[in-house]
Structure 1
Amino acid sequence: MFYLREHRQRVEFREGVRDQATVAMGIAAWGLMTGVAMVKSGLSVLEALLMTLIVYAGSAQLAAVPMITAGAPLWVILAAAFCVNLRFMVFSAHLRPYLMHLPRWQRLVSGYVTGDLSYVFFARRFPKPGQTPEELARQQAYLMGNCAVNYVAWMLASVVGVLLANAIPTAWGLGFAGILALLGVLSSLASSPLRIVSAGVAGAAAVAAWALPLKLNILVAIASAVAICLIIESRASGGSAPGGRHV
């Protein structure tokens, strides 16, 4: 792809590849488990492949598939997928200063291929956007190297999971492997006290609301975490001006 070719010669691209390669096995395990889960839940091979290639969001896929097979209303499925992926709005807001110099189509591609761990690695490597076109180009090269490994690991493993779903024994424990991958993502993102609190509240709410139909406990967990964080931030801001908020 031309978009990658223009970055591949930079050292930062190779650094991005190297950093993401350290977690590629976890991403692949998660992708494999998601591919298997889609078919085991009742989707046809074609439907599962299309969902993998178009959606490219494991958490949203795992949230939506049980609802699809249970015959949930479309708005419930879309709402659950939207809520699960709300974190990407935060990611994109943070990445905006790094990418706004790019043409719109490149920004769209960058947003589509950026995953959780790609964002984590990038934010740690470059805490501030570059001040010159060359610095911004180096940062973009790192992001694309990181995203390339993430995309390939996910897609290959997920497609294998879809195609071999009926041949992979349940005893392999792929569900547990997927949980471990998600825990890895969670641990990487829980980088502040507020994020740790939100993760704890979401987990507790999801368990407490487990009996709700159509996996609505996911929506309850997200709403609870957002609400408690807004309350904490509001109290922490104290006497600050209206609209002011600590991030």
Structure 2
Amino acid sequence: MLGASLGIAAWGLVTGVAMVKSGMSVPVAVVMSLLVYAGSAQLAVIPLLAAGAPLWVVWLTACCVNLRFVIFSSLWRSYFQHLPLRQRLAIGYFSGDVIFVAFMKRFPEPRPGKGQVPFFWGAATVNWVAWQVPSLLGIALAHAIPLSWGLGFAGVLALLGVLLSLLVDRATWTATGVAATAAVAAFALPLKLNILVAIAAAVAAGLLVEAVQTQRTLAVDHEGAP
């Protein structure tokens, strides 16, 4: 997690500064950082809040951006479903993209095993500290950090670093390409609705590729069956 933490820290710092620069009060920004704890969702709704978008648009955008956690949790169920509800809820709060990738690489077999829970909490602790400390620092120093420092660009680089670590197969590459194309094509939409368009297009593309790959696998298995 140490290598990824550098990108996470830069991302957290940018998000903390962006929340205050958008007009959010320091106490509200702190609460949002601690409770929401989802950088992509926070960055997605900040311009909507600043533009005075309707609450349903803000909520829908945040939910769409975080839909990937439904997939993460469904896959983690095979590992953690035996744990008490309180522990599973805690895992849900502390889960993250980089943690998921590291965990699945370490434990590819979808069944409970020795060392899984300590591995998760070790990764989750590093991830939480790497995010929250810079985020809170950015909130505290937002008015002292000039925009000329180019932190927005640094945040983009951090997001790209995290994104590249998640591109592991044809479905994720296709979904990413479709999302980028849709976001640019729909850029003229008001209230940053191009984000929702990009997410919907990416999910559809990813599911389509997964369905095609599954059908091909079943066809190959069927042909090879006696």
* TM-score normalised by L of structure 1: 0.84
CA distance in 2 between partners of 1:39 and 1:207 (Å) = 27
Counterpart secondary structure, 1:200 = helix
Q: Which residue of structure 1 lines up, in the alignment, with residue 143 of structure 2?
A: 166
What are the within-5 Å matches in structure 2 for residues 1-247 of structure 1?
20-130=1-111, 135-136=113-114, 138-236=115-213, 237=215
Assess if the C-alpha contact under 8 Å between 2:170 and 2:209 holds in 1: no
Distance (whole Å) between structure 1 residues aligned to residue 210 and residue 111 of structure 2: 29
Three-state SS of the structure 1 residue aligned to 2:52 is coil
How far off is 1:59 after superposition? Answer: 0.5
Kept in 2, the 8 Å contact 1:206–1:220? The answer is: yes
Q: CA deviation at 1:201?
A: 0.3
Q: How many residues align?
A: 218
* Deviating 4+ runs (over 3 angstroms): 230-236, 238-241
CA distance in 2 between partners of 1:166 and 1:47 (Å)? 16
Deviations 1:139-165 (A, max 9, x none): 110110001000011000000000100
Q: Deviations over 1:55-106 (max 9, x none)?
A: 0001000111111121111111110000000111111111101111111010
Whole-Å separation in 2 of the counterparts to 1:27 and 1:240: 39
Shift, 1:47, TM fit: 1.1
Contact 2:19 2:46 in 1 (8 A): yes
Conserved in 1, the CA contact under 8 Å of 2:13 and 2:134? yes
Structure 1's unaligned 5+ residue stretches are 1-19, 242-247
Q: What is the TM-score when the length of structure 2 is the normalising length?
A: 0.92
Deviation sequence 1:172-199 (CA, Å, 0-9, x none): 2111111111111111111001110100
Question: Counterpart amino acid of 2:15?
Answer: T
Answer yes or no: is the 8 Å Cα contact 1:130–1:139 preserved in 2. Answer: no
Measure how far apart 1:240 and its partner are.
6.3
Report the Cα offset of residue 230 of structure 1: 3.2
- Percent identity reads 56
**What is the root-mean-square deviation in Å for CA atoms of aligned residues?**
1.7
Q: Unaligned 5+ residue runs, structure 2? A: 220-226
Q: Is the 8 A contact 2:20 2:142 kept in 1?
A: yes
Contact 1:41-1:65 within 8 A present in 2 as well: yes
Distance 1:153 1:235, change over 3 A: closer
CA distance in 2, matches of 1:88, 1:233: 18
